[in-house]
Every structure is written in structure tokens, then in C-alpha cells.
Structure 1
Amino acid sequence: MGRAAEILVPARLGTGFRWLIASSWSTNLGDGIATAAGPLLLASLTHDPFLISLAAMLRWAPPLVFGLYAGVLADRHDRRRVVIAANLARVAVLAVLTVTLATGTISVAGALVALGLLATAEVFADNTVTTLTPMLVHRDDLALANSRLQTGLLTLDQLIGPSIGAALFAAGVGWPFAAELVLVTAGVLLVSKVVLPSHGRSTGRSRGDVRRDIAEGFRWVRHNPAVRTLVLTIMIFNVTFGAAWSVLVLYATERLGLGAIGFGALTTVMALGGLVGTGIYGPLTRRVSLGNVMRAGLILETLTHLALALTTSAPVALLIFFVFGAHAFIWHTTSITIRQRAVPAHLQGRVTSVNTIGLYGGLVVGSAIGGTLATHYGVTAPFWFAFAGSAVFVLLLWRETSRIAHTDDAQHNDSPIK
């Protein structure tokens, strides 16, 4: 067991990070369970498409509404306590939800409110957790640490959790939420063991104007070439990604001829590709600069949209999704690592929130574009749009992406406790 732990989470990453990753994996499993159980709960209470779609909106809206304030909060206060408080809020909501389900007093409105509150609390927890890693791990090990965190996200949140959630829901509507309650509570206890350096316990900053603090985060991003390029890239590529993936269920059924099980297989195959990405990430980043890794990823994503627009073969599409899953893991892990290396500790929360706004804003805009294009021009139109838009953007920003390769020369974060 000790040898396996050393391979998975090497001792050089520190005891604090081991507590953090244990907490992250526990809550990730809970989130994965809720990914399946939430929609199933709504569908069991109502067949109204508007109300069911409202649940999805409540999942997407909180990062856009509260993301910037979550960044300010992370930079003003003890970050470990922010994570604990946010997850305790989730525990309270889950406890009430579990009781109402057990007593049969749940309503559609109550379920929607509960899911919205859970998503809101998750914004504050996830934003702040991202700022903890560079405070606990040496900057040279950030790529490894982030890859291990993302492994938990892939396997527990996206691959294993939804299946467990669906199975528990079949056993009883309250069971998946009770399980999430236990897992999030465990996450709170585990993260409480983390000991942060002094600059993480309290920034000592003024409790002044929130808008001024938010503006400071935007200004820093605007004046830092590497992070500015990252945020812009994430936003634009999520517009193209969101356009294509917004009609994925229609693409799978109408273009590929897949049923419900086949559609679910697309997500599973992407997660499996992501696991392969975890295996090759270390050797890849030791041989290739992070900037070039991201350049290659942009090209691969562009070609993914083209290939999906052209193919009508389900096996070919599944192979494409497998490769895309590996790319998505590598891209996301690299993006986090570059940002953590470049951003000063006292700005980590706000810069992360700016990145979040770009990420979710791109997805929302892209989804609207994708739905419109598919309605008027067919189910492959969003994929052609995604290919053309991504190709143009790669050409326009190719020179700018070279700046990403030099983020190691940017100002270093405060030294972490080892």
C-alpha cells in the first residue's frame, strides 16, 4: 500500500497535499454521484421539459454569477477555511434534501432550490481549492500534482460516480444524496488536516470595495501576456466546443445512429482517454515544453471538430472521442499549471475566477450558437462552425501562444511549505 501511495502521490508533494487530494477525491466522487442523481430526481418529480432544463441552467449559472466574488473571497480570507465553509454549506443542503426525500415531502421547487444551492457552494469550494495546490507543492511539481488531482476528477467524478449515482437512485431516491452527504463530510474532515503557510491562512488585505478587487484581477490578467493568452484561448475554444457539444445527443442519435447506451458510451470513452492522458502526462511534459503541449492541443481540438463533422461511423467517432479525452485532460492540467506558476499568491483566487468566467461564458455563448445552427442547417453545422472558428483562432494566436512557453520566467509564487 505504501509503495502504491508513493507512486500515485509521491512523498515529495508533501503531507498537506496528500490531505488535499484525499479531500478532493472524496468530494469528486460525491459530485459524480450527483451528476446522475440530480437529473434523475427532477425527471421523477416532473415531466415538464422547461423545469428539467431549468435544472441544467442552475448548474451552469452559479459560476457566471458568483465566480468573481468567489475569487475575491479566496484572496481575502484563510483559503482552507473558505473551502471548509463552502463544503459545510453543501453538507447542510444535502442533509435537508436527504430528509425531505426520506419523508416524501420533496417538491419540484424544493429540488430545484437544493440543486442551485449545491452548485453555488461548489463554485466557492472549487475556485478556492485551485489556489491551495501552489501553496503546498513546489512549483516544479505543480504539473504532477495537478495531473493527480485531475485523475480523481476523471475517474471518480466523470467515470465511476455517475454509474454509482444511477444505481443508488434505482435502489431509492434518497440514497445517492445520502452518499454524497457522507463523501462531502469526509472531504471537510480531510481538508481540515491541511496546514497552510502564513500567506494562505490570512492575506491581511483590506475589506474594501469588492469591485476594486475584481478589477485588480482583470487588470493583472490583461497585463500578463501568458495568462491573458490562456484566458482568451479558453474562452474562444469553449465557444467552439460549446457549439458542437450542445447538440451532441442529437449528433449521436441522428448522425451516428446510437441509442441511449451508445450516447453514454461517448462520455465513458472520453473519460477512458483521459485516463490514458494521465499516464502519458508526466513523460510528455518532461520532453515537451508546456507551451508546445498547448499548441499541439489546439491543433488536435480543431481537427477533432473536422473529423466529427465528416464521419458517420460510430466506431470512428468513438476513437475520436477517446483521443479527445486524452487531449482534454492534458490541456486542462497544463492550463492550471501554467496559471499557478505565473500568478502571485495573493491574486490566485481572482485570476482563477476570471478564467472561470471565460470558461463558462464561452460555453454558454457556444451552446446558443450551436442550437441555432443545428436548427437551421442540420446537426453537423455546429461541428463545421467549431472547426472553422478554431482554425481561424489558431492562426491568429499562434505567435501569442509562444508566450506561454516562457511562463517559468514570470514572477514566482511565494514559496510553499514542504
Structure 2
Amino acid sequence: MLPVAERVVPARLGGPFRWLLASSWTTNLGDGIEIAAGPLLVASLTTDPFLISLAALLRWLPPLLFALWAGVLSDRYDRRRIVMVADGSRAVVLAVLVVALAAGRLHVAGALLALGLLSTAEVFADNTAATLTPMLVNRDDLTLANARLQFGFLSLNQLAGPPIGAALFAAAHSWPFLTQAVLVAAGVLLVSRVRAPAPRAAERTNAVREIREGFAWTVRHPAVRTLVLTILIFNVTFGAAWSVLVLYATDRLGLGAVGFGLLTTVSAVGGLLGTGLYGWITARVSLGNVMRAGLIVETLTHLALALTTSPAVALVIFFVFGAHAFIWGTTSITVRQRAVPEHLQGRVTSVNTICVFGGLVVGSAIGGALATRFGVTAPFWFAFAGSAVFVVLLWPQLTRIAHDEG
């Protein structure tokens, strides 16, 4: 058993990181359960399409509203305690939700409020947890540490959690939320065992000035600026294509609901392959070239999906894309953590989060408009063309990105 544990989480990563990883994996399973159970709960309380759509809206709106403030807090205060308070707050909200369900007193407004509070607290927990890893792990081991964190996200949040959540909800509406409450509370206990060095105290002025400082540092640093700009642009193109994915799967590929779900599952399985190969790849290829290859894969993904009408071909494409998404995401996090000073980690991470979700929102609006006017493949052609142009413009910068970390 010990050799397996050593292979998965080598001792050189340290005991504190192992506690953080255990907390991350535990809470990711709970969050994956909520991914399925949350919308199912709202749909069980109302048939109003607008109210049901709010359940999805409440997953991406809090990061846009609160990420910058979360970054300021994580640079001001004890990061471990922020994670504990944020996840502890989620456990309380879930406990109240379970009691309301058990008493038969929950209405749709209460369910939406609970989901919004859970998503908001998750913003603070996730933003701050991301700043703990570079405090606990040596610089050279950040790629491995982030790969292990991403493995938990893929396997537990994306693969295992949603079907478990759906099954628990089918058994009893309160069960998935009770299970998530237990898992989140366990995550609090696990992260409480983390002993991190005290962060350097940041000079406190006011929140707006501190946010501006995070933006200014990001703009001035060539590597991180390139990363954030890439994430923004490629999430616009990705958001455009993926916003109509359900229509693409049904109208273009002829898949039903199960087939649509299979696309996401295959993508997550591809991510697990990326997990297994990540160490081997980064030992042989520079991070800059890894990112170059990833952007080419993403660009060609949009082209291939625009051209194919075969479900089998599409499944292969999604498998490859899933591996790319994992490798790109882990590399991006690692480069950013290596480059950003400790006292700015929270704010720069929050700038990155704003670009991630801002790009998705803008892309979704573009994708919906294009599909309405020109058909379901139009967003994929837009994504291909936009990605191709940006890759050409960005190409010279990517080979320097992993070396420009001062």
C-alpha cells in the first residue's frame, strides 16, 4: 500500500500538502454531487424555465461578482482559515437546506438562495485554496502537485460526483445535500491539519487599490499577461462553441440525452489520461511548448467538430480534448504560481478567474446569436477562426512563457 501512496503523492510533497489534497478531493466529490442534485432540486420545485435556468446562472455569476474581493481577502488574511470559514459556511447552508427538505418547507426561492450562497462561498474557498499550494510545495514540484489536485477535480467532481448526486436525489431529495454537507465538513477538518508558513503581510490600503495592484502586476508581467489574455480569448471561442453543445449533439450528431452526457464523460476520461501522461510529458517538453501544442489541439478541435457528423468521431475528439484541457489547465496554474509573488497570489488568481468566466459569458452570447442566425455549426467555425488567428499572433510568446517567471 505504501508504494502506491508514494507514487500518487510522493513524500517530498510534504505532509501539509497531503492534508490539503485530501481536503480538495473530499470537497470536490461533494461539489460534483451538487452539480447534478442542484438543478434537479430546482426542477422538482418548479416547471418555470426561467427559474430552472437560474440554477445554472448561479454557478457562474458568483465568480464574476466576488472573485476580486476573494483575492483581496486571501492576500490579507490567514489563507487556511479563509478556506475553513468558507467551507464551514457551505456546510451550514447545506444543513439548513437538508432540514428544510426534511420538513417539507422548501420553496424554489429558498433552493435558489441556497445554491447561490453555496456558489459564493465556493469562490472564496477555491480562490484561496489555490494560493496555498505554492506555500506548501517546492517550486520544482508544483507541476506534480497541481496534477494531483486536477486529478481529484476530474475523477471526483466531473466523473463520480454527478451520477452519485443523481442517484442519491432519486432515492430521497435530501440525501445528496446531506452527503455533500458531510463531505464539506470533512474537508474543513482535513484542511485544519495544514500547517503553512505565515504569509508575508500585505500592506493594507483599500480594496479597490489592492485590486488595481493585482491588475497592474498582471499587465506588467509578460508571462502571466500572456496566460490571462490567452485564457480570456480562448474561453470566448470555447464558450461560443460549447454554449450550443446540447443542440450540436442532438441536431448534428443525432444523439439523445444519454449520448450528450457521454460526450462530457469521455472528455473527463481523456483528462484522466492526461493525468497519467502529464509527468512524462513535462519531463521531456518545456511548458511553453506544451502550451503551444495545447492551443493547436484546441483550435483543431473546433474545426473537426464543425466538419464531422459522426458520433464516433466526435467521441474521439472529445477524448483528446479532455486530455488537452487537463494538461493546459495544470500547466497554466503552475506557470502562474511560479511567477506570482506570494503576497499577490490571491489577487492575480482572481484576475485570472474573472477572465475565465468573463470569456465564457461573452462566448456564450456570441455562440447563441451565431447559431440562431447561421445554424448550429456556426459557433464552431467562429471558434476555429478566432482561435487560429490568436494562435498565430501569440505563437512567438509561448516558448518564452515558462522561462519568464521572475
Deviations along 1:315-351, one digit per CA (max 9) or x if unpaired, are: 0000000000000000000000000000000000000
Give, in angstroms, the shift of residue 400 of structure 1.
Answer: 2.0
**Quick one: which amino acid aligns to residue 23 of structure 2?**
S
Distance of 1:244 and 1:321 partners within structure 2: 13
Give, in angstroms, the shift of residue 405 of structure 1.
Answer: 2.9
Which residue matches 2:71? 71
**Quick one: which amino acid aligns to residue 9 of structure 1?**
V
TM-score, normalised via structure 1 length:
0.96
> Is contact 1:291–1:401 with CA below 8 Å preserved after alignment?
yes
Which residue matches 1:269? 266
> Is contact 1:291–1:402 with CA below 8 Å preserved after alignment?
yes
Distance of 1:147 and 1:23 partners within structure 2: 15
Distance of 1:405 and 1:4 partners within structure 2: 31
**SS state at 1:204 partner:** coil
1:227 lines up with 2:258 in the alignment: no
Distance of 2:4 and 2:395 partners within structure 1: 41
1:360 alignment partner, one of 354, 357, 360: 357
Distance of 2:202 and 2:304 partners within structure 1: 50
Distance of 1:402 and 1:3 partners within structure 2: 36
1:319 alignment partner, one of 313, 316, 335: 316
> Is contact 2:90–2:118 with CA below 8 Å preserved after alignment?
yes
1:344 lines up with 2:379 in the alignment: no
**Quick one: which amino acid aligns to residue 127 of structure 2?**
N
> Is contact 2:201–2:343 with CA below 8 Å preserved after alignment?
no
2:246 alignment partner, one of 237, 249, 255: 249
Which residue matches 2:35? 35
Distance of 1:331 and 1:206 partners within structure 2: 33
**SS state at 1:405 partner:** coil
Distance of 2:204 and 2:82 partners within structure 1: 16
Deviations along 1:236-274, one digit per CA (max 9) or x if unpaired, are: 000000000000000000000000100000010001000
Which residue matches 2:386? 389
1:406 lines up with 2:371 in the alignment: no
Deviations along 1:341-371, one digit per CA (max 9) or x if unpaired, are: 0000000000000000000000000000000
**Quick one: which amino acid aligns to residue 173 of structure 2?**
V
Which residue matches 1:136? 136
Which residue matches 1:301? 298
Residues 9-408 of structure 1 aligned to structure 2 (within 5 Å): 9-199=9-199, 203-407=200-404
Give, in angstroms, the shift of residue 206 of structure 1.
Answer: 3.8
Deviations along 1:280-339, one digit per CA (max 9) or x if unpaired, are: 000000000000000000000000000000000000000000000000000000000000
> Is contact 2:67–2:124 with CA below 8 Å preserved after alignment?
yes
Structure 1 unmatched runs, 5+: 412-418
Q: Percent identity?
A: 74
Distance of 1:187 and 1:88 partners within structure 2: 9
**Quick one: which amino acid aligns to residue 257 of structure 1?**
G
**Quick one: which amino acid aligns to residue 13 of structure 1?**
L
Give, in angstroms, the shift of residue 397 of structure 1.
Answer: 1.1
> Is contact 1:225–1:403 with CA below 8 Å preserved after alignment?
no
Distance of 1:88 and 1:61 partners within structure 2: 21
Distance of 2:205 and 2:99 partners within structure 1: 40
Give, in angstroms, the shift of residue 399 of structure 1.
Answer: 1.2
Give, in angstroms, the shift of residue 208 of structure 1.
Answer: 2.2
Structure 2 unmatched runs, 5+: none
Which residue matches 1:414? none
Distance of 2:289 and 2:144 partners within structure 1: 17
**Quick one: which amino acid aligns to residue 294 of structure 1?**
M
> Is contact 2:84–2:192 with CA below 8 Å preserved after alignment?
yes
**Quick one: which amino acid aligns to residue 71 of structure 1?**
G
Q: Which portions of structure 1, spanning 4 or more consecutive aligned residues, are displaced by more than 2 angstroms?
A: 203-208
Distance of 1:51 and 1:36 partners within structure 2: 16
Which residue matches 1:415? none
**Quick one: which amino acid aligns to residue 136 of structure 2?**
L
> Is contact 1:34–1:180 with CA below 8 Å preserved after alignment?
yes
> Is contact 1:221–1:351 with CA below 8 Å preserved after alignment?
yes
Q: How many residues are matched?
A: 406
Distance of 2:109 and 2:204 partners within structure 1: 36
